[in-house]
Amino acid sequence: MAERPVQDAVQALTSLRAAARAELDVLRVATAVRAAGVTARLPAAAAAGLPAAAGLPAAACLPDGVAVPLVAAVDSAARSSLEAIDAEARRLRRLLHETPQPGRRSPFAGPPPPVAGGPAPALGPPTPGLAEEPELAGGARYAEHPLTLPDTVGPELARQGCISDCHLVAALCTVAGRAPWLLPSVSAVDGAVLVDVPGRRYRLRPTLPVDDATGRLAYAHSPDGSTLVPYVEKAYAVYGGGYHVLGQGGLPVEALYWITGRPSYLLRVPKAGDDLVAELIESGQPVVACSRPLGADEAGAAAALRYRLAPVAHAYAITGLDEERRVLLHNPWGRWHPRPVPLDVFAELFTRIDWCETDDD
Amino acid sequence: MRVRLGHPVPVGAGWVAFLGADPPHVRLGVDEPGGAETVAWYAPGDVLTVGGTRWRVRSTSPPPRLAADAPPGAAGDHVVAVLVPADDALSRGPGPRRGP
């Protein structure tokens, strides 16, 4: 099937959801203000001997005590509308992920089905048994957390926690910002959480790593408290052999491929030239920049200070170029974002850009 | 409290991240719950406040040397600074060296 219309539909739904939420917020405030005004004015109107409806809009002629139920009704309608949009977006994302891509096969998928004489290949991945809980890094334990979906999707969707998996979180940030229709589909089914990525399905216990002392989510998380991101990270930990393995660092190109299933590449920045780097950044494809360990030499350490770069080998989501053709970087830590980096300086400080295609055109 | 190379660590309601080294100093970023970010150099014995709690830098350790093409996140577990709760006597020690 053609994927482009489905991608467009997911993107349109994402925009629609953001617009609908903004409108519903305004409606809620207006309803609350109007209802509060009515309850304040009704006794005054009665005291003045005026009919209750005098000077008030017909819809505002409500008996005392209706204000709160009215706001609750608006909240309920808003919740239903947003959930309907979410469900449709999830359905479309699953459709994208379960659609076989002709001519290309995930190297991580199982052996191909027999060409003839065997059973017909399944269209979607089968539902596996519950995955073993991936081994944790120190200072964390598992606790039950329901799946909750984010309100909005963008580069801020994912924040790194107390594990050194910037390669995965930066990949999630750039996909969320540049190709949100390629994000994994995550759903709660029969007491488990299903994470669908191209060619693979993970069935996880509804638990997430939390800090031993505080009970807060220990690793990747979202600023709005939704749990899609930590469940995707948990599935990646199952794939990678445990959180303690993710914490040893890794390659964003592998994370991009795991998330999207799309052809994924790396570009050696020092050999590429400014124009090629700029063209790739402006192409709109998901792109992750990998810095060299900047603290290892004096020039690198000075540049790290000047541009607010972490002095370590670190992955950043690239969000674009500014009007002076400086590279705009998003730190997966969710804080201490770098200052814009000129292209010629970028070539000295960064070793590679990992990226993936967003479609097969 | 151990500040590590590869990721910020929560300290109370705030966060602390490693942003540079000039042994024995380390450059630490503090992100307060309200969103205020401060960055300064600290040596062993210095005191910093995170989320309303005072901590003393007990020790620092420079990052290990890594190859230029080390994968992102490599050596992220390396401890670059150890913070301990500051008591009254120690909290009168030297403050941080402010940097750019």
B93-to-B39, B42, B86 alpha-carbon distances in Å? 19, 12, 10
Pairwise CA distance, residues A289 & A251, whole Å: 11
Q: So what's the pLDDT on residue B96?
A: 62
Report the pLDDT value the prediction gives residue A359, as an integer from 0 to 100. 75
Q: Is residue A120 part of a domain?
A: no
- Partner B contacted by A251 (CB < 8 A): yes
Helix (H, G, I), strand (E, B) or coil at A334: coil
A236 and A289 fall within a common domain: no
pLDDT at position A111: 37
Is A125 among the domain residues? no
Please report whether residue A102 resides in a domain. Answer: no
Residues A166, A173, A290, A356: which is the catalytic one?
Answer: A166
| d(C-alpha A308, C-alpha A192), whole Å | 41
Identify whether residues A283 and A255 lie together within a single domain.
no
DSSP string, A199-248: TEEEEE-SEEEEETTT-SB-SSB-TT--SHHHHHHHHHHHHHT-HHHHTT
The answer to whether residues A253 and A292 touch, using CB atoms and an 8 Å cutoff, is no
Domain co-membership, A238 together with A317: no
- Contact across the interface for B72 and A336, Cβ inside 8 Å: no
**Structural domain contains residue B100:** no
Whether A352 maps to a domain, the answer reads yes
Does residue A276 sit in the same domain as residue A244? no
Pick the last residue of a domain from A96, A128, A158: A96
A307 in a structural domain: yes
Same domain assignment for residues A253 and A268: no
Total domains in chain B come to: 1
ipTM confidence:
0.87
Structure tokens at B90: 């120690």
Contact (Cβ atoms closer than 8 angstroms) between residue B21 and residue A312: no
Is residue B44 included in any domain, yes or no?
A: yes
Of A63, A96, A129, which closes a domain? A96
Candidates A160, A295, A314; nearest CB to B20: A295
With contacts defined as CB-CB under 8 Å, which chain A residues touch B3? none
What pLDDT is stored for residue A5 in this prediction?
64
Instruction: Give the residue from chain B lying closest to A304, CA to CA.
Output: B20
Name which of B2, B77, B97 to mutate to probe chain A: the one with the most chain A Cβ atoms within 10 A of its Cβ.
B77
pLDDT for the residue numbered A14: 73
Choice among A290, A314, A330, A356 that is catalytic: A314
Residue B62: partners with Cβ closer than 8 Å, 6 or more residues away? A295, B21, B23, B80
Tell me whether residue A106 is in a domain: no
Query: DSSP per residue over A59-86, as a string?
Result: GG---TT-HHHHHHHHHHHHHHHHHHHH
Decide if A128 is inside a domain. no
d(CA B48, CA B59): 13
Report yes or no on A127 lying in a domain.
no
Inter-chain contact B27–A291, Cβ cutoff 8 Å? no
Min Cα distance B70 → chain A (Å) is: 6
Instruction: Give a yes or no: residue B99 inside a domain.
Output: no
- Decide if A137 contacts A251 (C-beta within 8 A): no
DSSP label at residue A154: S
B6 vs A156: CA distance, rounded Å: 19
A213 and A156 in a common domain:
yes
First-to-final CA distance of chain B: 25
- The span from the CA of B9 to the CA of B18, in Å, is 9
Q: For residue A337, what are the domain limits? A: 264-356
Q: Give A-chain residues touching B77 at CB under 8 angstroms.
A: 137, 164, 247-248
Q: Are residues A153 and A252 in the same domain?
A: yes
Distances (CA, A) of A112 to A14, A104, A107, A129: 34, 11, 10, 21
Same-domain check for residues A158 and A245: yes
The residue annotated as part of the active site, out of A97, A290, A330, A331, is A331
Give chain A's end-to-end CA distance (angstroms, integer): 14
Contact A263, A270 (CB under 8 A): no
Per-residue pLDDT at B3 = 96
User: Is A255 in the same domain as A154?
Assistant: yes
* Angstrom distance (rounded) from CA A85 to CA A237: 29
Do A276 and A244 share a structural domain? no
Which stretches in chain A have pLDDT values below 50? 1, 45, 49-61, 100-122
Nearest to A311 among B4, B8, B19 (CB): B19
Number of domains, chain A? 3
In three-state secondary structure terms, A291 is: strand
How far apart, in Å, are the Cα atoms of A33 and each of A59, A72, A239? 13, 13, 51
pTM: 0.75
What pLDDT is stored for residue A73 in this prediction? 76
For residue B36, the model assigns a pLDDT of 87
Active site residue A97: no
Question: CA A270, CA B40: separation in Å to the nearest integer?
Answer: 31
B23 touches chain A (CB under 8 A): no
CATH number, domain containing residue A298: 3.90.70.10
Between CA A80 and CA A64 the distance in angstroms is 27
Within a domain: B68: no
Residues A256 and A269 in one domain: no
Nearest CB among B7, B20, B37 relative to A164 is that of: B7
Let me know if residue B71 belongs to a domain.
no
Q: How far apart are CA B67 and CA A10, in angstroms?
A: 41
CA atoms lying within 13 Å on the CB side of residue A39: 12
Burial of B43-52, coded b for 16+ CB within 10 Å and e otherwise, reads bbebbbbbbe
Using CA atoms, how far residue A178 sits from A94, A129, B98, in Å, is 18, 33, 38
Token pair in block for residue A271: 């050999």
Chain A residues in contact with B6 (beta carbon < 8 A): 164, 166, 247, 249, 312, 314
- Encoded tokens for A263: 């052809």
Question: Do residues A242 and A234 touch, judged by C-beta distance below 8 A?
Answer: no
Indicate if A251 and A160 belong to the same structural domain: yes
Digitized pLDDT (tens) for each residue of chain B, 100 residues in all:
999 999 999 888 889 999 999 999 999 999 988 878 899 999 999 999 998 889 999 999 999 999 988 999 999 999 999 999 987 545 445 556 555 4
Which pLDDT value is given to residue B89?
47
CA distance A205 to chain B (A): 26
Given A209, A225, A260, which residue is the final one in a domain?
Answer: A260
Domain range enclosing B20 = 2-63+77-92
The four Cα atoms A52, A56, A60, A64 give a dihedral, to 10 degrees, of -40
